Amino acid sequence: MTEAPLIQLEGITKTFGSGAAAFQALKGVDLSITRGEFVAVMGPSGSGKSTTMNILGCLDVPTGGVFRFRGVEVQKLDRDQRSLLRRRYLGFVFQGFNLLARTTALENVELPLLYRGEPKAKRRAAAMRALDQVGLVPWADHTPAELSGGQQQRVAIARALVTEPDVLLADEPTGNLDSERSVEIMQLMQRLNREGITILMVTHEEDMAAYAGTIVRFRDGLVERIERGAMNLAAAGEGAA
C-alpha cells in the first residue's frame, strides 16, 4: 500500500541575500511526509529548521528544488495562490500564540472562516466546535488578556483547526508555556493527530519531540537524521489515559 506522500521536498535549497553576503540556509533538503504523520522537527538554531517550516507552511518559497504539497509544485505558485493553499489546507500555531488582542476567543477562532466567506451561523457553529475540541467552550467570550498562556495556545490551536486543515504547522507551540501546560498541549496535539490531522512541529525540547511519531533532525542546512516510529510510549500512554 504505497500512498503518495502528502508533502515532498526534493533537493530544497534556500539562500538569503546575494553576492558576498549570501547565506545558504538550506543546502539540499529531501523529506517526505505522509498523511497522518506527527513529525517533530529538531535542530540547533541556524540549522535550517525554521526556514524549512516556513517553506512547508507556504509562507516562503525555496531558492531551488521541488516542493510538492498534495501533488502541487508549490515553488511555482504566486503569493495569492500560496495564500489560498494556506487558507484551505494549513493551520498554524505559533510560539507567541498570535491571537488578535481585544478580540474574544470565539472571534479569533472565527477569523479564518471570515476569509473563506462562510455565513455567520456556519462560522459560529464551526468555531464553537473547534473550541469544544480544545475544551474552551466556557471561555468563548473571553479576550486573550483574560486567558492563561495554555488557554491562549488552545485558542490558537482551535483557530488552526476550525478550517479542518490537512496539516497543522506548529512552531515551538510550548515554547512560552510551563511544563504542565506543555504536556497538556502535547496531549491535545497527539489526540488531534490520532483523529487524522497531519502535524509538523518545530521544537528544541526532546520531551516534546517524544510525543511525535517521527523526529526529523536538522544540522547545517541539511536533514541529519530521520527517526521514525520513535513515539514515546509513556507519553502516548499518558495521552490515551
Partner 1 sequence: MLGTTILLSLREIRRHILRSILTTLGIIIGVAAVVTMVTLGNGVTASVQEEISSLGASNFIVFPVRTTRGTIRPFDDADVRAVGQQIAGVEIAAGNVSATATAFYNGQDWDTRAQGVTNALLDAQSVKMAEGRLFTRDEEEAGKNVCMLGPKVREAIFPQGSSPVGARMRLGGVSCEVIGVTEERGQGGNGADDDDAVYLPLKNVQRRFRGNENLDYFVVKYDPAYSSATVQDALVGLLRERRLLQGEEPNDFNVIDTAQVNQALGAATGALTAMVAVIASISLLVGGIGIMNIMLVSVTERTREIGIRLAIGALAREVRLQFLTEAVVLCALGGLVGIALGFVASIGLAALIDVPYVFDPVINIVSFVFAAGMGIVFGYYPASRASKLDPIDALRHE
Give me the residues that bind partner 1 (CB under 8 A), please.
54, 57, 59-60, 79-80, 83-88, 90-92, 94, 98, 100, 102-103, 111-112, 114-115, 117, 159
Q: How far is the CB of 210 from partner 1 (least distance, A)?
A: 27
Q: How far is the CB of 59 from partner 1 (least distance, A)?
A: 5
Q: Which is nearer to partner 1, 22 or 100 (CB)?
A: 100
**Burial per residue of 204-228, b for 16 or more beta-carbon CB atoms within 10 angstroms, e otherwise:** beeebbbbbbbbbbbeebebeeeee
Give the CA distances from residue 47 to residues 41, 62, 212, 219, in Å, rounded to whole numbers and listed in that order.
Answer: 11, 16, 20, 5
Q: Which is nearer to partner 1, 88 or 225 (CB)?
A: 88
Q: How far is the CB of 54 from partner 1 (least distance, A)?
A: 6
Q: Which is nearer to partner 1, 103 or 187 (CB)?
A: 103
Q: How far is the CB of 147 from partner 1 (least distance, A)?
A: 16
Q: Which is nearer to partner 1, 96 or 135 (CB)?
A: 96
Q: How far is the CB of 185 from partner 1 (least distance, A)?
A: 19
Residue 125 β-bridge partners: none
Q: Is 197 helix (H, G, I), strand (E, B) or coil?
A: coil
Cell, residue 77: 505558485
Query: In the β-sheet with 38-42, what is the strand arrangement from edge to edge?
Result: 90-93, 167-171, 198-202, 38-42, 214-219, 222-228
